[in-house]
Amino acid sequence: MTEHKPETLLLTVSGKDRPGVTSAMFTTLTRAGVEVLDIEQIVLRRRLILGILVTAPRDWKRLRAAIEETAAALGMSVEVDRGIGDNKVRREGRSHVTVIGAPLKAAAMAAVAGRIADSGANIDRIERMARYPVTAIDLHVSGTDPDRLRALLSAEAAAQGVDIAVQSANLLRRAMRLIVMDVDSTLIQGEVIELLAAHSGHRAEVAAVTERAMRGELDFEESLRARVSLLAGIPSTALDEVYDELVLAPGARTLVRTLRRLNYRFALVSGGFSQITDRLADDLGIHYTRANELEIVDGVLTGRIVGDVVDRAGKASALRYFAEQVGVPLEAVVAIGDGANDLDMLGIAGLGIAYNAKQLVQDAADTTVNVPYLDAIIYLLGISREEVEAFDAEYGVVTPAPPL
């Protein structure tokens, strides 16, 4: 027996937005006794586009005339299309594709849309997550495997100079999650060990070795022990001076403040030093930390590390441990880092983000964020700038106004 598909009407209302449009349209539909099947509405620069899918009454032409009359009275235009059946169920292979640019140019969006079409997928919905200080757009895509789509768009992101994140559309995006962050050149600007080395006159030498280690050219533990040896003789009070010199990445406080309100948990996992990371954690409200401990004897740095070194494998181990402590699966962990020693933890996290990272790391990570704002990561989690600012306003936090 052939399944009967009901006739439907798609009403598309457009025009200058004003109060009462949606109410008036549904009042008219109420008189016809129709059933509402789907609704979509957007407002762009005070222009309203309202789509309503309803069951078609027997005298659908009379309803069309009534809808047209209502729209005309509101100064709006309306199209009424008659068809068969409900809105199509979105296909398998659903993803969120977040595009971030500063600026985001039309050519970049054309390229992204083109690659999505090439994959055989469809863009079901588009919404803006932020317009300042970056433009962030979230595309709801269906019809292709997220991993395949990620590979296609990764190359396009590099070619267009934008950041693109592809994530499976599932409930984990809305669940409580654990954020695990590197510290040096991620949470903070610069490298703590270089600031310390300035107190012993070895800053340039240490910086050169650090750069090679972050590119993966040197064994991390060996290079760290060599660099720390150059800190021997520095008074421990230099740690206080270095802490006072630290500059957080733009948006770091916003990222932590916003996600803590949503019950996210945070961990710092660093190849740096616990004497610094523990203080950062206290300052920002970070729940967990793991880092190397500098040996201090009689108020002076000895040039040695206490215990095992937190290296590439150590960071991944720490991430697993903190996920167990929080009680979330690895799929619910977001890892953020910039250097070669972050690769393992980025690889095992549900979402690994290379933040202003070395090319080696960008090539290996799930996604890259190259804009200089750490809170841009919020947009990858489905949270808009407007929601962040509204939430902040409730707590008396003032955010800079965007340019007109």
**Which residues are within 8 A (CB) of 30 and not within 5 positions of it... i.e. 6 or more apart?**
none
Q: Residue 206, CB half-sphere, CA atoms under 13 Å: how many?
A: 23
For residue 192, is it left (φ>0), alpha (ψ between -120 and 50) or beta?
alpha
**Which residues are within 8 A (CB) of 251 and not within 5 positions of it... i.e. 6 or more apart?**
373, 374, 375, 376
Is the CB of residue 401 less than 8 Å from the CB of residue 378? Answer: no
Q: Which of 138, 163, 182, 338 is catalytic?
A: 182
Q: Which of 17, 86, 138, 184 is catalytic?
A: 184
- Does residue 145 carry a catalytic annotation? no
Report how far residue 33's alpha carbon sits from residue 174's, in angstroms, rounded to the nearest whole number: 36
**Which residues are within 8 A (CB) of 184 and not within 5 positions of it... i.e. 6 or more apart?**
190, 191, 192, 193, 270, 271, 272, 339
- Does residue 182 carry a catalytic annotation? yes
Q: Helices 146-160 and 106-118: crossing angle, nearest 10°?
A: 150
| Burial profile 146-170: b = 16 or more Cβ within 10 angstroms, e = fewer | beebbebbbebbbebebbbbbbbbe
Looking at the DSSP bridge assignments, the partners of residue 40 are 51
- Dihedral sign from CA coordinates of 329, 331, 336, 342: positive
Whose structure tokens read 């025009």?
15
Whose structure tokens read 């707590």?
395
Q: What angle do CA 124, 126, 130 make, to 5 degrees?
A: 160
Is the CB of residue 351 less than 8 Å from the CB of residue 170? Answer: no
DSSP track, 250-307: TTHHHHHHHHHHTT-EEEEEEEEEHHHHHHHHHHHT-SEEEEEEEEEETTEEEEEEES
Rounded-to-10 torsion of CA 317, 323, 325, 326: 160
Which residues are known catalytic residues? Answer: 182, 184
